[in-house]
């Protein structure tokens, strides 16, 4: 029998009719039954094969007109395949099969088909029908003692899912627990794993979120060991894990699981889920600030939805992709056509809310491009006023910005005020914040005092809402989109002559998110149990919303809107609870940014805090004796151009070998010196600072990678007059450095399969200087050792190739022996007690130019507890870097101060003709906490 079936399956479908005629005498009901067994076996491990076998079952059944059960059995087989992929089709097929079994009175078949229909009806949102089938299946299974255990377990799986969807969580939990015990006792491992998933989802709905993760992970691990591997079930678990991590703000873990899920769904040809997960992946990438990769993911999702004729989802992917493209480049020539297409699709589908969403995006684009008449037409004649609240508010905000740009300040004021009122009434906190900033911008020139009040209210919302965000959200979504209030406030305070207040605002701007994370990791922030409970409830509802948007085929907008309303209300409760909590006596963090508190910790002769506002670079200078001044330094665009020219000069010098550099040394140094002197005259000369001593420099974009040590005054380099350290922001001085025991140095090197030949020499040289160090060279065990440290190393040294994306992200990192060690992983290290982290790779100061400077090695290691870092400011050859590191560690052993050791190393290299070019000796800087 199996040989006969294998022969049929291996044929092309065009050859089936001839084969069926030839073998007609050998075909029977048993053949169809065996085909169903084969199809069921491959449904979750080889979808394409199961698809083909189920069609073969129908083809064979059609050759047996006198066997009505044959066709019913074939429909059953095909329905089992369609249940996970095309539930409507599965419902029709099961119903056809059920009619036949009802006619012949096969109670077991009726019970099993009714059980399957519970799952399909639940998936389609037909809960009344599902309950009817559940009652029927349960009654029959109780009457028939001979039904195999596996079918009783599968009924329990489907019934518990139905109970969950109907909100009967405790009943669902009870059924799950009973079925889990039954599956475990009878060795039904795959069913046991799927029941664990149901259990996790139910526990989440009961706000027992902490129990969910391990259930899902344990289920996945079990299924990975089965043969054949149930790829589809594993993909669904990955999807649930992605939902869980997304709801709990572990965005990188969510992204990894969504990517694994998409691979599984693609392999199993589950079109809807594959395309949906692509959309989730794109949304997460956007949330993480990885816009170019998000754009590509949206494009893939759109193509997948179009291929499977899922027009509504295709239009949503198209709109989201267009929004990302606008953020990257408003002049993208494809944008207008994409938005017109999306608008037409939503119009044809009669989806007015999505059409309005698209009109808003078109109006934003027109506004950015200066096409005010087009934007006005889109917001008036094309706009449907009957829409949801958040779109109404977004419309009012954009209309206000348009009227402000057109010079109608009165109309703009009306629009912004209306947006603020609606936001406050509807608990739309982020919209309230946007309205406050808009009012601040509008009134800045004519009513600066009122503007300051509005901006201060917006800042309070920022600082309160920031407390609930994860590392990933702080580094991406929050910093890139919520970083406009404090610069405006600092500008207004400076214009009013409140220099110290403005400096404190600059510190809150540059250091707020970073300090929040440091305090969170160092344990300085109290956990408010009320807020923690609200956050857990919010995470539960977010997870439920994600699942219902994906799995509820009925797509009841009323149910989804109710979930969104509940989330907004809980967010508002959490916001007001935080507001109350932070204003209780002893809870305020304002003192962190007090300039006198910073001054009391200043161990340099002068702190220079750079900040860029509206393309103008400013420098606040705070001396040890308390003098505070602000200096306007010029256009950041001009300074950025100077730095780009210097970078090209340095790259040209670094490309030469030692002999070539010595031959052309004076010319190369003179050419670089011209630019270094211009930078000195711009960045240092105008400042009222001492003529020598110690400087603590807090750079900003675009000067994070500026080689301050090499700035040239015409007679001396800056490092010859000053001992220089850098800090992300002076506000960090008010945060205590975490103390802790420290152990031997940990030195990790990776030569990238021998491409970085000097790494081995560098590691060997460091090992001779630090004889007690733990050394890992091209060793995959290095990261395990790092993550498993019980005591922080006194010194942590990395020498490796850097892996950066085209835009700053927490997934950038150092390429070690077996994989990339990402910036995100740095946050999870325990480095309390580590005095120095050295990052020897190209441009390991990467990421500081990003909003808030959190997508950077420096921030991650400082948050993890390191006291100081040695980072590179640009590309450098591994041979040159290796020599510099040997000099540095020799000096460090004598001085015990990284800043002093680096300065001495720079002096040593400066006086070596082969190494005297600033691109070499000023390639590194010391960053402190």
The string of pLDDT tens digits covering residues 407-436 is 999 999 999 999 999 998 887 888 999 999
With cut-offs at 50, 70 and 90, classify the pLDDT of residue 572. low
pLDDT at position 853 over 50: no
Answer with the residue of higher pLDDT: 333 or 481.
Answer: 333
Answer with the residue of higher pLDDT: 306 or 479.
Answer: 306
Distance, in Å, from the CA atom of 303 to the CA atom of 767, rounded to the nearest integer, reads 54
pLDDT at position 559 over 80: no
**Lowest-pLDDT choice from 107-121, 534-548, 722-736, 754-768:** 534-548
CA dihedral 72, 73, 78, 81 (to 10 degrees): 140
Residue 654 is predicted with a pLDDT of 86
Cα Rg, the chain, nearest whole Å:
32
Residue 846: alpha-carbon gap to chain centroid: 18
Residue 809 is predicted with a pLDDT of 62
* Tens digit of each residue's pLDDT (9 = 90 or more) over 138-161: 999 999 999 999 999 999 999 999
pLDDT at position 586 over 50: no
Query: Could you please report the per-residue DSSP string of 27-61?
Result: --HHHHHHHHHHHHHHTTT-HHHHHHHHHHHHHHH
Distance, in Å, from the CA atom of 44 to the CA atom of 84, rounded to the nearest integer, reads 9
* Tens digit of each residue's pLDDT (9 = 90 or more) over 764-778: 999 999 999 999 999
- Per the listing, tokens 């041979």 go with 879
pLDDT at position 608 over 50: yes
**Lowest-pLDDT choice from 116-130, 527-541, 789-803:** 527-541
- Is the pTM value of this prediction over 0.85? no
Beta bridge pairs of residue 508: none
With cut-offs at 50, 70 and 90, classify the pLDDT of residue 584. very low
Nearest residue to 835 via CA among 806, 866, 798, 877: 866
Average pLDDT, the chain: 88
Residues 903/719, Cβ–Cβ less than 8 Å: yes
Looking at mean pLDDT, say which of 167-176, 556-565, 732-741 comes out highest: 167-176
pLDDT at position 343 over 90: yes
End-to-end CA distance of the chain: 74
Answer with the residue of higher pLDDT: 730 or 857.
Answer: 730
Residue 890 is predicted with a pLDDT of 96
Distances (CA, A) of 741 to 738, 789, 796: 10, 12, 14
* Tens digit of each residue's pLDDT (9 = 90 or more) over 637-659: 999 999 999 999 999 888 888 77
Residue 657 is predicted with a pLDDT of 81
Strands (E), 845-911: 868-872
Phi, psi of 834 (to 5 degrees): -80, 120
Distances (CA, A) of 751 to 57, 71, 159, 551: 57, 64, 56, 47
Nearest residue to 344 via CA among 79, 131, 336: 336
* Tens digit of each residue's pLDDT (9 = 90 or more) over 485-528: 888 999 999 998 898 899 999 998 888 878 877 877 766 555 56
* Tens digit of each residue's pLDDT (9 = 90 or more) over 665-685: 788 999 999 999 999 999 999
Residue 850 is predicted with a pLDDT of 45
* Tens digit of each residue's pLDDT (9 = 90 or more) over 285-339: 887 777 888 999 999 999 998 987 889 889 999 999 999 999 999 999 999 999 9
């Amino acid at each position: 029998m199996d040989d006969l079936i294998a022969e049929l399956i291996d044929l092309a479908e065009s050859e089936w009719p001839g084969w069926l005629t030839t073998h007609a005498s050998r075909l029977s009901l048993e053949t169809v039954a065996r085909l169903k067994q084969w199809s069921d076996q491959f449904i979750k491990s080889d979808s394409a094969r199961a698809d083909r076998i189920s069609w073969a079952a129908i083809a064979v059944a059609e050759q047996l007109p006198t066997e009505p059960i044959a066709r019913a059995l074939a429909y059953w087989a095909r329905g089992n395949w369609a249940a996970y992929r095309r539930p409507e089709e599965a419902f029709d097929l099961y119903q056809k099969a059920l009619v036949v079994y009802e006619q012949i009175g096969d109670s077991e078949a009726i019970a099993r088909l009714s059980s399957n229909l519970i799952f399909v009806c639940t998936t389609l949102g037909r809960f009344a029908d599902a309950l009817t089938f559940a009652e029927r299946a349960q009654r029959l299974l109780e009457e028939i003692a001979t039904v195999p255990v596996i079918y009783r377990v599968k009924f329990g799986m489907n019934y518990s899912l139905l109970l969950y969807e109907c909100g009967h969580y405790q009943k669902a939990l009870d059924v799950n627990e009973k079925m889990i015990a039954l599956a475990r006792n009878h060795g039904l491992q795959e069913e046991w794993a799927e029941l664990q998933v149901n259990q996790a989802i139910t526990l989440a709905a009961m706000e027992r979120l902490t129990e969910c993760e391990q259930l899902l992970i344990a289920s996945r691990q079990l299924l990975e060991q089965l043969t054949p591997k149930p790829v589809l079930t594993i993909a669904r678990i990955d999807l649930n894990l992605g939902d869980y991590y997304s709801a709990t703000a572990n965005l990188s873990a969510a992204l990894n699981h969504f990517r694994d899920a998409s691979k599984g769904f693609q392999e199993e040809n589950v079109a809807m889920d594959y395309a949906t997960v692509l959309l989730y992946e794109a949304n997460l990438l956007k949330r993480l600030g990885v816009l170019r990769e998000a754009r590509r993911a949206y494009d893939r999702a759109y193509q997948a939805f179009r291929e499977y004729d899922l027009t509504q989802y295709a239009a949503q992917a198209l709109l989201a992709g267009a929004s990302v493209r606008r953020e990257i480049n408003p002049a993208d020539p494809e944008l207008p056509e994409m938005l017109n297409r999306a608008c037409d699709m939503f119009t044809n589908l009669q989806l007015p809310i999505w059409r309005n969403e698209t009109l808003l995006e078109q109006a934003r684009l027109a506004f950015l491009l200066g096409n005010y008449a087009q934007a006005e037409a889109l917001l008036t004649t094309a706009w449907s006023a009957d829409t949801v609240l958040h779109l109404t508010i977004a419309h009012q905000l954009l209309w206000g910005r348009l009227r402000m740009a057109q010079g109608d300040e009165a109309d703009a004021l009306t629009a912004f005020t209306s947006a603020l009122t609606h936001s406050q009434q509807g608990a739309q906190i982020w919209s309230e914040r946007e309205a406050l900033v808009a009012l601040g911008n509008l009134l800045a020139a004519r009513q600066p005092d009122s503007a300051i009040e509005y901006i201060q209210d917006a800042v309070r919302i920022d600082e309160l809402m920031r407390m609930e965000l994860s590392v990933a959200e702080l580094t991406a979504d929050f910093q890139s989109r919520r970083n406009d209030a404090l610069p405006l406030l600092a500008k207004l305070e400076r214009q009013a002559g409140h220099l110290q207040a403005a400096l404190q605002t600059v510190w809150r701007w540059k250091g707020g998110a970073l300090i929040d994370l440091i305090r969170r990791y160092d344990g300085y922030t109290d956990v408010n149990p009320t807020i923690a409970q609200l956050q857990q409830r919010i995470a539960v509802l977010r997870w439920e919303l994600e699942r219902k948007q994906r799995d509820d085929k009925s797509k009841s907008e009323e149910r989804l809107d109710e979930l969104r309303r509940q989330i907004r209300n809980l967010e508002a409760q959490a916001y007001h609870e935080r507001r109350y909590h932070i204003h209780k006596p002893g809870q305020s963090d304002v003192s962190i940014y007090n300039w006198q508190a910073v001054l009391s910790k200043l161990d340099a002769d002068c702190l220079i805090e750079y900040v860029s506002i509206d393309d103008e670079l400013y420098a606040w200078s705070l001396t040890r004796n308390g003098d505070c001044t602000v200096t306007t330094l010029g256009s950041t665009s001009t300074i950025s151009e100077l730095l780009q020219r210097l970078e090209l000069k340095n790259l040209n010098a670094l490309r030469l070998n030692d002999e070539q550099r010595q031959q052309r040394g004076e010319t190369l140094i003179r050419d670089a010196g011209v630019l270094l002197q211009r930078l000195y005259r711009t960045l240092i000369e105008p400042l009222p600072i001492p003529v020598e001593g110690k400087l603590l420099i807090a750079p900003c974009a675009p000067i994070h990678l500026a080689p301050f040590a090499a700035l040239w005054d015409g007679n001396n380099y800056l490092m010859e007059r000053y001992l220089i350290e850098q800090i992300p922001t002076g506000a960090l001085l008010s945060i205590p450095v975490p103390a802790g025991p420290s152990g031997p140095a940990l030195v990790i090197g990776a030569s990238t399969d021998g491409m970085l030949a000097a790494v081995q020499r560098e590691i060997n040289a460091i090992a001779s200087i630090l004889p007690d160090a733990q050394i890992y060279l091209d060793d995959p065990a290095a990261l395990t050792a790092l993550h498993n440290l019980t005591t922080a190393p006194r010194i942590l040294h990395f020498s490796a190739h850097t892996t950066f994306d085209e835009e700053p992200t927490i997934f950038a990192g150092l390429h070690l022996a077996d994989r990339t060690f990402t910036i995100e992983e740095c946050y999870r290290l325990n480095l309390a007690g580590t005095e120095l982290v050295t990052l020897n790779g190209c441009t390991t100061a990467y990421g500081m130019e990003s909003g808030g400077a959190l997508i950077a090695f420096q921030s991650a290691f400082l948050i993890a507890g390191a006291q100081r870092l040695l980072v590179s400011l640009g590309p450098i050859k591994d041979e040159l870097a290796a020599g510099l590191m040997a000099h540095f560690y020799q000096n460090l052993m004598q001085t015990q101060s990284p800043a002093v050791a680096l300065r001495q190393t720079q002096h040593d290299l400066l006086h070596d003709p082969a190494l005297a070019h600033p691109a070499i000796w000023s390639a590194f800087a010391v960053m402190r906490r």
